[in-house]
Amino acid sequence: MDSEGTIASHPEIEADSCKGCGRCVEACPRKCLEISHALNNAGIRSVAYKGEGCVGCGICFYNCPEPYAIKVVKA
Protein backbone atom coordinates (compact mmCIF):
# COMPACT_ATOMS: atom_id res chain seq x y z
CA MET A 1 0.00 0.00 0.00
CA ASP A 2 1.31 3.46 -0.78
CA SER A 3 0.97 6.62 1.29
CA GLU A 4 -2.49 7.34 -0.07
CA GLY A 5 -3.72 3.93 0.98
CA THR A 6 -4.19 2.48 -2.50
CA ILE A 7 -2.96 -1.01 -3.18
CA ALA A 8 0.08 -1.25 -5.46
CA SER A 9 0.27 -3.83 -8.24
CA HIS A 10 1.61 -7.13 -6.98
CA PRO A 11 1.63 -10.85 -7.69
CA GLU A 12 -0.19 -13.18 -5.31
CA ILE A 13 1.66 -16.46 -5.06
CA GLU A 14 0.14 -19.71 -3.91
CA ALA A 15 3.36 -21.37 -2.78
CA ASP A 16 1.92 -24.89 -2.62
CA SER A 17 0.97 -24.71 -6.31
CA CYS A 18 4.46 -23.65 -7.41
CA LYS A 19 6.84 -26.23 -8.85
CA GLY A 20 9.86 -23.94 -8.77
CA CYS A 21 10.62 -24.05 -12.51
CA GLY A 22 11.66 -20.40 -12.51
CA ARG A 23 9.98 -19.45 -15.79
CA CYS A 24 8.31 -16.44 -14.15
CA VAL A 25 11.59 -15.32 -12.59
CA GLU A 26 13.21 -15.30 -16.03
CA ALA A 27 10.24 -13.69 -17.77
CA CYS A 28 9.50 -10.88 -15.32
CA PRO A 29 10.54 -7.65 -17.09
CA ARG A 30 11.07 -5.92 -13.74
CA LYS A 31 12.98 -8.85 -12.22
CA CYS A 32 10.91 -8.67 -9.08
CA LEU A 33 10.44 -12.39 -8.53
CA GLU A 34 12.90 -14.85 -7.01
CA ILE A 35 13.09 -18.46 -5.95
CA SER A 36 12.69 -18.36 -2.19
CA HIS A 37 14.45 -20.41 0.45
CA ALA A 38 11.19 -21.61 1.92
CA LEU A 39 10.00 -25.10 1.05
CA ASN A 40 6.35 -25.53 0.13
CA ASN A 41 4.08 -28.39 1.10
CA ALA A 42 5.65 -30.68 -1.51
CA GLY A 43 9.19 -29.79 -0.42
CA ILE A 44 9.84 -27.55 -3.42
CA ARG A 45 11.42 -24.10 -3.26
CA SER A 46 8.61 -21.93 -4.48
CA VAL A 47 8.80 -18.53 -6.10
CA ALA A 48 8.36 -15.35 -4.05
CA TYR A 49 7.77 -11.67 -4.73
CA LYS A 50 10.70 -9.47 -3.77
CA GLY A 51 8.20 -6.98 -2.35
CA GLU A 52 8.48 -4.15 -4.84
CA GLY A 53 8.79 -3.40 -8.52
CA CYS A 54 5.64 -5.12 -9.85
CA VAL A 55 3.75 -3.18 -12.52
CA GLY A 56 0.94 -5.72 -12.85
CA CYS A 57 1.73 -6.71 -16.44
CA GLY A 58 0.71 -10.34 -15.91
CA ILE A 59 3.68 -11.76 -17.80
CA CYS A 60 4.56 -14.05 -14.90
CA PHE A 61 1.03 -15.45 -14.93
CA TYR A 62 1.18 -16.31 -18.63
CA ASN A 63 4.65 -17.86 -18.38
CA CYS A 64 3.69 -20.02 -15.42
CA PRO A 65 2.60 -23.54 -16.36
CA GLU A 66 0.48 -23.80 -13.22
CA PRO A 67 -3.03 -22.33 -13.22
CA TYR A 68 -3.11 -21.18 -9.61
CA ALA A 69 0.48 -20.58 -8.60
CA ILE A 70 0.44 -16.88 -9.52
CA LYS A 71 -2.25 -14.31 -9.95
CA VAL A 72 -1.54 -10.67 -10.51
CA VAL A 73 -3.35 -7.75 -8.98
CA LYS A 74 -3.02 -4.68 -11.15
CA ALA A 75 -3.59 -1.34 -9.49
Question: Which parts of this chain interact with another protein (CB under 8 A)?
Answer: 7, 14, 16-17, 19-23, 26-27, 39, 41-44, 56, 58-59, 61-69, 71-75
The Cα 73–Cα 55 span in angstroms is 9
| Min separation Cβ 4 and another protein, Å | 14
Closest to another protein by CB, 15 or 51: 15
The Cα 72–Cα 34 span in angstroms is 15
Residue count of the chain:
75
The Cα 37–Cα 14 span in angstroms is 15
| Min separation Cβ 75 and another protein, Å | 6
DSSP state of 28: -
Closest to another protein by CB, 48 or 61: 61
| Min separation Cβ 21 and another protein, Å | 4
